[in-house]
Every structure is written in C-alpha cells, then in structure tokens.
C-alpha cells in the first residue's frame, strides 16, 4: 500500500479558505419581494453530515434556503456547529432582505448544529416567537428479527 502522506495546510491556504467562506456569505442575494412580509417560519434540518435552513412564509411557501455546503464548507466541516452558525447568519441576511422580523423556528434532526444555529438566529437580531422540535420519532420501531434456532 505504501506510506500515507499527511498534507498540512499553510497559513496562506487557511486564510484563502476562510476568505472564500466570507465571500460566499456576502454574495448578492437575489430575492424579489412582492410584498413585505413581517412573519415567517425557519425550518432547520440538522443531520450528521449537513445543516439545512429553509425560510418560508406562514403558509409554507419557500422564500429562501441555504445550507453549509451552499456556503462553501466541504466534507466533515459541514456538520460542525461553526458551519451551522454561519448558515444561520446567512439566513438572517436573507430574512432581512425579504423583510421578515418575527420567526417561528422548527428544528428537525439530531446533528451537532442544532443549538448553535438557534443561538445564532437569536443573536443576529431575529425575534424568535416559538421554538418547536419536529424530529420524527418511531412509535413502535421496526419489527424484531425472528428467534434464532440452533
């Protein structure tokens, strides 16, 4: 098989990567609001691999969405709490663009980015009206395997 080589990033590469993430956050958001909406819902789907956020109006029509991979995180970095907070920061910018101030937050999944995404939404200036966990829970689970006969 041969030796495994560990690739170490230089400081310049690390700075370039962080600049790329910052630029992705500052990209121009092209949302054409028909009318100003004050209230909305934010769905946070946090899995072991990624964090997705969807901004909807109260009826459920999608206004905007973003994810950790959409911002520029790759691989295992997508599942970190830091990536989830950056996703929330981008979502707050999009909500302000549309005119949303009050949001209901619905959280689904058991990833590591749940708490940090909610905290980041609150600290960046959105009024969280309600917080609800909509993670699906099995009532009786799967059928157990047959009894082993020896």
CA 140 – CA 114 distance, rounded (Å): 26
State how many domains the chain has.
1
What's CA 15's distance to the chain center, in Å? 23
Name the pTM for this structure: 0.74
CA 122 – CA 127 distance, rounded (Å): 7
Is 34 inside any structural domain? no
Confidence class for position 2, pLDDT limits 50, 70, 90: low
Is 92 inside any structural domain? yes
Q: What's residue 11's pLDDT?
A: 82
Tokens for 27, please give them: 């990209």
Residue 20 vs residue 149, higher pLDDT: 149
Is 146 inside any structural domain? no
Is 143 inside any structural domain? no
Q: What's residue 57's pLDDT?
A: 94
| Predicted confidence (pLDDT) per residue in 33-86, tens digit | 556 789 999 999 999 999 999 999 999 999 999 999 999 999 999 999 999 999
Which domain, by its residues, includes 125? 43-133
Tokens for 69, please give them: 């991979």
Q: What's residue 35's pLDDT?
A: 65
Q: What's the CATH code of the domain at 84?
A: 3.30.420.80
């Amino acid at each position: 098989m041969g030796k495994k080589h560990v690739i170490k990033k230089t400081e310049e590469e690390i700075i370039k990567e962080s600049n790329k993430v910052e630029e992705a956050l500052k990209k121009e958001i092209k949302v054409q609001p028909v009318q100003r909406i004050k209230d909305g819902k934010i769905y946070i789907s946090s899995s072991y691999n990624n964090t997705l956020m969807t901004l909807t109006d109260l009826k459920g029509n999608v206004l905007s969405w973003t994810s950790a991979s959409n911002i520029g995180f790759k691989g295992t970095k997508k599942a970190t709490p830091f990536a989830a907070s950056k996703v929330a920061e981008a979502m707050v910018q999009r909500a302000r663009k549309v005119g949303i101030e009050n949001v209901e937050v619905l959280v689904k999944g058991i990833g590591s980015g749940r708490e940090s995404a909610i905290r980041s939404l609150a600290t960046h200036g959105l009024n969280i009206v309600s917080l609800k966990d909509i993670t699906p829970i099995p009532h009786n689970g799967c059928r157990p395997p047959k009894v082993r006969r020896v």
